[in-house]
Amino acid sequence: MIWLQNALAFLVTLSILVTIHELGHYLVARWCGVKVLRFSLGMGKIVYSRRFGKDQTEWAISMLPLGGYVKMLDVRELGADQIAAEDMPREFCRQSVWKRIAIVAAGPIANFLLAIVLYAALFLHGVPEPVAKIRLASAASIAYQAGLRHGDLITAVNNEKVQSWSEVRWKLIQAGMSDANPLVDVERANPDRSGSISRLSVELPLKRLSDKELESDFFNALGFNLAGSPEVVFEDLQADSPALKAGLQAGDRILEINHRPLLDIIDFRQVVNANANKPLKLLVQRKQNEFEVDVTPVSQDLNGHTVGLLKVKLKPMTSEMTLVQASALGAFSKAVEKTWDTSYFSLKMLGKMLVGKISWKNITGPLTIADYAGQTSRSSPISYISFIALISISLGVMNLLPIPVLDGGHLLYYSLEVLTGKPLQERFIEMAQRAGVFLLLTMMAIAFFNDIVRLMS
């Protein structure tokens, strides 16, 4: 059933984005006085249509749900002899070059506007996000050597304030793409347990990472990630569990292991796994009481390695959350900034792919998009809306690329017309269109190949 949910979420997403994109073309075409013959959601054979308005524009649903189009009165398609004399002033090619530019650019712009509206709504409503508190892997990590410590709260990256872990991640990804070492501001609780806070800045050496590490999960390469709750609580114990035999119960909270305070569940598991058949001293809290228990993890072979197990189920690790929220004006401002940053980042990624700095494996196709659509739709409405906004930006950026057959290709033609003072020759446009179709099909083939590799792996 998951594949069906993915497919439905993908089709809903695509329908929304294509409708908004084509509405951009349609509305600006009408505003510029161009006669619109058909508005189609989908491609290929029309399965349902109705005509509305003074111009009797045909509103249609077509068989293939991948895309859509707005068909305008165009002498290149119909021929001059098929257009009534009174309609000629409303023919697309008769419009000024600036009107044609506005009509073509309106589709991608509509996608950017949709993203801004969706992000603004989310920021106005409030988005629950994990706080930017970090968990260090070890004292040998790059992050530790740079000056970060476990439990540090990141408050700014390159002097730009951040409220959540996703904002930190985004800022660091941007810094990595810029080949720069970002400056990270943190708040650190003083070890004297007085509750006082120290504030300091740390330069994170992203330049030390390879291109491959930056493309993958570079947080692991740096040696830090999102911190989880320090609570380690037994949820269930197996009948043959060493912990159960030692007198432990469901609901017991582990405070220390071998007289060392625990950082989180990951820390607890690592210590247990590394001590097969070796006794461990646990400091346990049960309700209001604290006591010590000696327990010895049993050994078990796991993927060719011997690990220690207590055969217990732990309560899932959670992260400290915050509500990222803004006023109406602040939400709009944050939405515009996020849309701009995402668009710029996408273009920068494409540029690095072209020069070989980033692998073409990062190109994703409809299968991956459908998978993410399904995942986010099952997660929460906020996640799904964020996903739609992100894909809307990607669609807008993609359509603005100067590739013939895309909106960006037509904008390139009209820009050259502005510079030269005359339209390009039809023969040149026809050759460019063929090249554009070939380039587009090649990119689609790469995207499908990457999708299949991801699914298989």
Confidence grade of residue 46 (pLDDT, cut at 50, 70, 90): very high
| Pairwise pLDDT comparison (277 vs 448), residue with the higher score | 277
The answer to whether residues 240 and 300 belong to one domain is yes
Closest CA to 344 of 174, 218, 198: 174
Strand partners, 225: 135
Rounded distance between C-alpha atoms, residue 113 and residue 24, angstroms: 10
Question: What's the one-letter identity of residue 96?
Answer: S
Q: 298 in a domain, yes or no?
A: yes
Top-confidence range, 104-108, 157-161, 365-369 = 104-108
pLDDT score, position 85: 86
Token pair 């220690």 is at which residue? 308
Tell me the DSSP string of 307-318.
EEE--EEEPPP-
pLDDT tens for each residue of 272-305: 999 999 999 999 999 899 999 999 999 988 878 8
Rounded distance between C-alpha atoms, residue 175 and residue 182, angstroms: 6
Q: Of 226, 258, 282, which residue is a domain's last?
A: 226
pLDDT score, position 371: 86
pTM: 0.82
Question: Quick one: 107 exposed, middle or buried, by C-beta within 10 A (0-12, 13-18, 19+)?
Answer: buried
Confidence grade of residue 309 (pLDDT, cut at 50, 70, 90): very high
pLDDT score, position 178: 78
Rounded distance between C-alpha atoms, residue 436 and residue 453, angstroms: 26
Q: What is the mean pLDDT of residues 379-395?
A: 94
The answer to whether residues 217 and 170 belong to one domain is yes
| Pairwise pLDDT comparison (168 vs 367), residue with the higher score | 168
Q: If you ran DSSP here, which 8-state letter would residue 83 be given?
A: S
Strands (E), 146-297: 153-157, 160-161, 183-189, 197-203, 224-226, 234-237, 253-257, 260-261, 280-286, 289-295
Q: 435 in a domain, yes or no?
A: yes
pLDDT score, position 304: 80
| Pairwise pLDDT comparison (79 vs 24), residue with the higher score | 24
Residue 160 has pLDDT above 70, yes or no: yes
Contacts of 280 (CB under 8 A, 6+ apart): 257, 258, 271, 272, 294, 295, 296, 297
What are the phi and psi torsion angles at 34 (to 5°)?
Answer: -85, 140
Residue 424 has pLDDT above 90, yes or no: no
Rounded distance between C-alpha atoms, residue 53 and residue 36, angstroms: 11
Residue 14 has pLDDT above 70, yes or no: yes
Residue 193 has pLDDT above 70, yes or no: no
Q: Percentage of the chain surpassing pLDDT 70?
A: 98
The answer to whether residues 182 and 200 belong to one domain is yes
Q: Which two tokens stand for residue 190?
A: 């003083």
pLDDT score, position 192: 64
Q: What is the CATH number of the domain that holds 254?
A: 2.30.42.10
Q: Are 225 and 219 in contact (CB under 8 A)?
A: yes
pLDDT score, position 337: 93
User: Catalytic one among 22, 91, 203, 426?
Assistant: 22
Q: What is the mean pLDDT of residues 403-409?
A: 90
Rounded distance between C-alpha atoms, residue 454 and residue 270, angstroms: 29
Q: 258 in a domain, yes or no?
A: yes
The answer to whether residues 266 and 222 belong to one domain is no
**Residues 318, 319, 320: CA angle, nearest 5 degrees:** 130
Chain centroid to Cα 259, Å, comes to: 42
Q: Are 317 and 226 in contact (CB under 8 A)?
A: no
| Pairwise pLDDT comparison (154 vs 79), residue with the higher score | 154
pLDDT tens for each residue of 69-124: 999 999 888 887 888 888 899 999 899 999 999 999 999 999 999 999 999 999 99
Residue 361 has pLDDT above 80, yes or no: no
The answer to whether residues 211 and 270 belong to one domain is no
Q: Of 191, 226, 261, which residue is a domain's last?
A: 226
Q: 53 in a domain, yes or no?
A: no
Residue 236 has pLDDT above 80, yes or no: yes
pLDDT tens for each residue of 329-349: 999 999 999 999 999 988 888
| Pairwise pLDDT comparison (314 vs 189), residue with the higher score | 314
Chain centroid to Cα 265, Å, comes to: 27
Q: 299 in a domain, yes or no?
A: yes
Q: How many separate domains does the chain show?
A: 3
Q: What is the separation, in whole angstroms, between the first and last Cα of the chain?
A: 20
Residue 211 has pLDDT above 80, yes or no: no
Q: Are 182 and 170 in contact (CB under 8 A)?
A: no
The answer to whether residues 205 and 295 belong to one domain is no
Rounded distance between C-alpha atoms, residue 361 and residue 449, angstroms: 9
Rounded distance between C-alpha atoms, residue 97 and residue 95, angstroms: 6
| Pairwise pLDDT comparison (355 vs 346), residue with the higher score | 346
The answer to whether residues 121 and 138 belong to one domain is no
pLDDT score, position 311: 92
Confidence grade of residue 393 (pLDDT, cut at 50, 70, 90): very high
Confidence grade of residue 397 (pLDDT, cut at 50, 70, 90): very high
Rounded distance between C-alpha atoms, residue 132 and residue 168, angstroms: 7
SS3 248: coil
Q: 199 in a domain, yes or no?
A: yes
Largest CA distance in the chain: 95
The answer to whether residues 222 and 238 belong to one domain is no
Q: Is 290 a catalytic residue?
A: no
H or E element at residue 111: helix 97-125
Rounded distance between C-alpha atoms, residue 136 and residue 353, angstroms: 31
What are the phi and psi torsion angles at 126 (to 5°)?
Answer: 110, 130
Chain centroid to Cα 107, Å, comes to: 22
Q: Percentage of the chain surpassing pLDDT 90?
A: 52
Q: Of 208, 226, 244, which residue is a domain's last?
A: 226
Rounded distance between C-alpha atoms, residue 133 and residue 186, angstroms: 9
Q: What is the mean pLDDT of residues 364-393?
A: 90
The answer to whether residues 421 and 345 belong to one domain is yes
Residue 387 has pLDDT above 80, yes or no: yes
Residue 387: other Cβ atoms inside 10 A: 21
Q: Which structural domain, as residue segments, surrounds residue 198?
A: 134-226
Residue 194 has pLDDT above 70, yes or no: no
The answer to whether residues 119 and 204 belong to one domain is no
